[in-house]
Amino acid sequence: MAYEFTSELYEWSARDNWFFVDLPPAVSDEITALPLIPGGFGSVKVEATVGHVTWRTSVFPDDKRGTFVLPIKKEVRARNSLVAGSPVEVTLVVVR
């Protein structure tokens, strides 16, 4: 199943140059309900697409934000001209 959403890009306050988008609460809830064995830090493996860039990564639960977060690597940001505050259109598929 593919999830499609738009979320604002932000820089993580704990580390410079680490950028993320939040998954919508409904998407996070559906992923949490899947019968998956979570990885380290509660991560879930996914295939993400932003623009014309598709890559394999993981989403991570963020208790403070109450949702999963998706890291957006530098190459993806550069190829899509994304900066903090940019709306990011994401297609996400959970990898089993």
pLDDT in tens, 74-88: 999 999 999 999 999
Kindly report the pTM of this predicted structure. Answer: 0.92
- pLDDT score of 46: 97
- pLDDT score of 71: 97
- pLDDT score of 6: 98
Is 31 in contact with 68 (CB distance < 8 Å)? yes
Domain 2-94: assigned CATH number: 2.40.30.100
37 pLDDT above the threshold of 80: no
Residue where the block lists tokens 């993580």: 12
d(CA 21, CA 37): 23
Mean pLDDT of the 28-42 span:
87
Is 46 in contact with 94 (CB distance < 8 Å)? yes
